[in-house]
Amino acid sequence: MLKNAVLKGLLPALVVLAGCASQGPATGPTGAPLGGTCNAQPAQSAIGKSSTAKVVEAARVSAGALMVRILRPGQMITKEFDAERLNLEVDAAGRIIAVRCG
């Protein structure tokens, strides 16, 4: 009887702990894995393309960045460096003209 009571008491705790277990790598809105430290070199192929959501996300994934920021002409931006962020500079037509991290 005591053994059954102990097991019944442990079962909810085990269920809660199982829910806290790792669920694999974090993913972004498209299901692509979220990255970490940015490397702009692999994303240079985005230059000349329109800054559609698909192209922007593909550049982020290629760069291994956690986040991406689009920089438009004349837009005020913060100057802090973020090693996990990919910056895509676009022209007035929305075409990507530069790819860099920060």
Minimal CA–CA distance to 90: which of 69, 77, 71? 71
Q: Is residue 14's pLDDT more than 50? A: no
| Of residues 1 and 58, more confidently modeled | 58
| pTM reported for the whole predicted model | 0.67
Angle, alpha carbons 58-76-43 (nearest 5°): 20
What residue ranges define each of the domains in the chain, with the CATH number in brackets?
27-101 (3.30.10.10)
Q: Residues 6 or more apart from 68 whose CB is under 8 A from it?
A: 56, 57, 59, 60, 85, 86, 87, 88
Q: Is residue 13's pLDDT more than 60? A: no
Residue 20 in tokens: 């806290």
Cα separation, 61 vs 81, whole angstroms? 19
